[in-house]
Amino acid sequence: MEKTFYLEYIINELIEEEVIIMIKKIEVSKLKRGMFVSKFDRPWIETPFLFSRMLIKDDHQIEKIKKYCIHVYIDTEKGLDSEESIHIAEADKKIEHEMKETIQEALKRAPPPVEEKVKFEEEIKEAKKVHVETKEVIKNVLSDIRMGKSVSTNDAKKVVDDMTESIMRNRDALLCLTQLKSKDEYTSLHSINVCVLCLTFGRHMGYQKIDLKTLGVGALLHDIGKMKIPNEVLNKAGALTNEEFEIMKKHTIYSAEILSKTHDLPQRALEIPLQHHERYNGTGYPKGLKGDEIGVFGMISSIVDVYDAITSNRVYHTGMHAHEALKRMYEWRGKDFHPTLMERFIQNVGIYPFGTLAGLTTSQIGIVISINRLHVLRPKVLLIIDEKGKLYGDPQAIDLTEKSPDGKNYKWSIENVIDPVTCHIDPQQFLKNKGILYDSGK
């Protein structure tokens, strides 16, 4: 099968460019009445606002936005412009450049990453098996809570032990399975993804097995309190009212209450369900903790929870691709997240995370299939489209650290990240065909 993607891709880019020209980034201190806010600098669901798009009519609105945002995006077609605003494309390039520079500089100061004990290809089979078992366990736990039964954490601890062992052998095998996304299975897959991401992050931070297992079981069960939230609130397709948002926020307390009744669970594990919605600047919930008042496990889980949530399709929004999510979260560091922990998280998942659709300098298109933690801009890539825009019959993996014959330049480099929706490519399907991912619905 051969299909040219570039013409449609370019047309979409041009249409998008016209829209972007009207959207600008501005510091909240520069907001004025008459401006139209089209987007916040943080996930809308994390704010008390009914809508993320609004015309600024009074100073009260501005003061309320200042409590939650450092900057916002304004639509200059629907409201006033400002000489101090920056076109979104220009702002995006700046933040991406800063993120790359910061992460690469931080890597120079960090100890070298621990080498994997086994190859990805060897571990992926075991990782898939553990993933399937974990999915069954979390579904049973959630079902028991819905039915008002007491929760036994024995099965949860067993699968967390297995995940920990897998990650100690090769973290990328389980990490790649966090790309399995399904709107219909969001709650269970989100719980598993948060657990895997916390475990890989913990390993990256140098935690020993005993701490990893505590972190993992708290992460796997962090959202079980949502089963006590009414379905009409939990699965509402539109914006939550202030009253509904207050009900939703109670899931953190419910989760901690349920788990506190489990006597054989380490006390530190409760930090995760209770604190994964706390924010570094004190604007989170349930207690509005600030800075070091939040435990390290709480800080780690807050980063991981947001990352998986904003890259997943939900009833109320379409997930963004992983590279875009990291750029946004990098902007939110120091406000929502501990700055150093946020940088370490990006080192762990890679500037170009697993599953990223990348346009190369050779005009080929590929999917990132392995992270290079020493050279974060040079992952391994599965080539799927050639320089003429045609599908490869048998996609092959390349290593972006490979040099050209003269030994001076690299053969391939990533030029840009492509939105899969824009060019109608489903990276998951290619990875399933290649045997890397599996169908989570089976």
Instruction: Report which DSSP code applies to 150.
Output: P
* Closest CA relative to residue 66, chosen from 82, 49, 45: 49
> Which residue, 287, 280, 269, 268, is CA-closest to 306?
280
Collect the ranges in the chain with pLDDT lower than 50. 1-20
CB count in 10 Å sphere of residue 149: 11
Kindly report, residue by residue over 371-415, the tens digit of the pLDDT: 998 899 999 999 999 999 999 999 999 999 999 888 889 999 999
Q: What is the pLDDT of residue 89?
A: 72
- Measuring CA to CA, which residue among 197, 262, 196, 198 is closest to residue 224? 262
Which candidate, 407, 184, 222, places its Cα nearest to that of 315?
A: 184
SS3 380: strand
Region of 350 please: left (phi>0), alpha (psi -120 to 50) or beta. Answer: left
Instruction: State the Cα–Cα distance between residues 370 and 383, nearest whole angstrom.
Output: 13
Rounded-to-integer distance, Cα 145 and Cα 161, Å: 22
> Widest CA span of the chain, in angstroms?
67
Tokens for 359, please give them.
């346009």
Predicted confidence at residue 17, as pLDDT, reads: 45
Query: For 72-118, how does the pLDDT look when each residue is reduced to its tens digit (9 = 90+)?
Result: 888 888 888 887 777 777 777 888 899 999 999 988 888 888 889 99
pLDDT of residue 172: 94
DSSP 260-308: HT-TTS-GGGGHHHHHTT--TTS--SSS---GGGS-HHHHHHHHHHHHH
Q: Which of 205, 123, 206 is nearest to 169 (CA)?
A: 123
pLDDT value for 14: 39
> Partners of 360 in the beta sheet?
414
The residue among 102, 46, 36, 97 whose CA lies nearest residue 69 is: 46
Please report the sign of the dihedral spanned by the C-alpha atoms of residue 145, residue 258, residue 241, residue 194: negative
Distance CA 295, CA 286 (A): 14
Number of other CB atoms surrounding residue 182 within 10 Å? 14
User: Structure tokens of 48?
Assistant: 């008390």
pLDDT at position 380 is 95
- Cβ neighbours of residue 36 closer than 8 Å, sequence gap 6 or more: 53, 54, 55, 56, 74, 75, 76, 78, 79, 80
Intra-chain end-to-end CA distance of the chain, in Å: 27
Could you give the dihedral angle defined by the CA atoms of residues 174, 328, 98 and 275, in that order, rounded to the nearest 10 degrees? -70
Neighbours of 433 (CB within 10 A): 11
Question: What pLDDT, on the 0 to 100 scale, is given for residue 313?
Answer: 79
CB atoms within 10 A of CB 59: 11
In angstroms, rounded to a whole number, what is the distance separating the alpha carbons of residues 54 and 37?
A: 5
Question: Do residues 187 and 142 touch, judged by C-beta distance below 8 A?
Answer: yes
Residue-level pLDDT at 28 = 87
Q: How many CB atoms lie within 10 A of CB 11?
A: 11
CA distance 359 to 365: 5
Of 341, 306, 343, 337, whose CA–CA distance to 70 is shortest? 337
CA torsion 85→87→91→94, rounded to 10°? -110
Cβ neighbours of residue 196 under 8 Å, at least 6 residues apart? 163, 167, 174, 175, 177, 178
96: its two tokens: 């991406």
In angstroms, the CA 417 to CA 428 distance is 16
Tell me the C-alpha distance between 74 and 35, whole Å: 7
